[in-house]
Chain A
Amino acid sequence: MKNDLYILGIETSCDETAVAIVKNGTKIFSNVVASQIESHKRFGGVVPEIASRHHVEQMTIVLEEAFNQAELTWENIDAIAVTEGPGLVGALLVGVNTAKALAFAKQKPLIGVHHIAGHIYANRLENEFEFPLLALIVSGGHTELVLMREHGSYEVIGETRDDAAGEAYDKVARMLELPYPGGPHIDCLASQGEETISFPRAWLENDSYDFSFSGLKSAVINKVHNARQRGEHIEKVDIAASFQASVIDVLTKKTKRAADEYRVKQVIVAGGVAANKGLRAALEKQFSGTNISLLIPSIHLCTDNAAMIAAAGTIAYEQGKRSDLKLNANPSLLLR
Chain B
Amino acid sequence: MNILAIDTSNQLMGVAILKDEIIIGETVTNIAKNHSVRLMPAIDQLMREVSITPEQLNKVVVAKGPGSYTGVRIGLATAKTLAWALNIPITGVSSLEALAYQGKFFNSYICPFFDARREMVYTGLYQWKNSRLIETDKEKNVNMDDWLHELSQMGKEILFLSPDIHLYKEKIISYIGSQAILPEGPFHQTSPSHLALAGKTKPADDTHLLTPNYLRLAEAEANWLKSKKGNKHDG
Chain A residues near B (Cβ < 8 Å) = 42-43, 47, 49-50, 52-53, 55-57, 59-61, 63-64, 74, 90, 93-94, 96-98, 100-102, 104-107, 324-326, 328-329
Interface membership of B221, Cβ < 8 A: yes
B67 to chain A, nearest CB (A): 14
B73 near A63 (CB under 8 angstroms)? Answer: no
A153 to chain B, nearest CB (A): 28
Q: How many residues of B contact A (CB 8 A)?
A: 34
- Note all chain B residues with C-beta closer than 8 A to A52: 69-70, 73
The DSSP consensus for interface residues of chain A is helix
Assembled-state Cα–Cα distance A89/B91 (Å) = 27
Interface membership of B208, Cβ < 8 A: yes
Count of A-B contacts judged by CB separation below 8 Å: 102
A105 near B69 (CB under 8 angstroms)? Answer: no
B74 to chain A, nearest CB (A): 5
B85 near A93 (CB under 8 angstroms)? Answer: no
A53 to chain B, nearest CB (A): 6
Interface membership of B63, Cβ < 8 A: no
Interface membership of B86, Cβ < 8 A: yes
B43 near A43 (CB under 8 angstroms)? Answer: no
Assembled-state Cα–Cα distance A55/B54 (Å) = 24
Take A59-B77, A61-B208, A104-B54 as given contacts and tell me if A47 and B82 are in contact as well, using a CB distance cutoff of 8 Å: no
Take A49-B69, A61-B208, A64-B84 as given contacts and tell me if A101 and B37 are in contact as well, using a CB distance cutoff of 8 Å: no
The DSSP consensus for interface residues of chain B is helix
A98 near B69 (CB under 8 angstroms)? Answer: no
**B41, B74, B84, B219: the one within 8 Å of A60 (CB):** B84
- Note all chain B residues with C-beta closer than 8 A to A106: 54, 85
Interface membership of B39, Cβ < 8 A: yes
Take A43-B220, A60-B81, A326-B37 as given contacts and tell me if A104 and B73 are in contact as well, using a CB distance cutoff of 8 Å: no
B77 near A101 (CB under 8 angstroms)? Answer: yes
27 CB contacts below 8 A, A to B, read A47-B221, A49-B219, A50-B220, A56-B73, A56-B212, A57-B211, A59-B77, A60-B80, A61-B208, A63-B81, A64-B84, A90-B73, A97-B39, A97-B73, A100-B78, A101-B40, A101-B77, A101-B85, A102-B85, A104-B43, A104-B54, A105-B86, A107-B54, A325-B40, A325-B44, A326-B37, A329-B36
- Note all chain B residues with C-beta closer than 8 A to A50: 218, 220-221
Interface membership of B108, Cβ < 8 A: no
Assembled-state Cα–Cα distance A97/B77 (Å) = 6
Q: Closest 10 interchain pairs by CB?
A: A101-B81, A105-B85, A325-B40, A97-B77, A49-B218, A47-B220, A100-B40, A60-B84, A101-B78, A56-B73
Assembled-state Cα–Cα distance A326/B114 (Å) = 28
Take A60-B84, A104-B54, A105-B86 as given contacts and tell me if A325 and B78 are in contact as well, using a CB distance cutoff of 8 Å: no
Assembled-state Cα–Cα distance A43/B221 (Å) = 8
Take A52-B69, A60-B208, A90-B70 as given contacts and tell me if A97 and B218 are in contact as well, using a CB distance cutoff of 8 Å: no
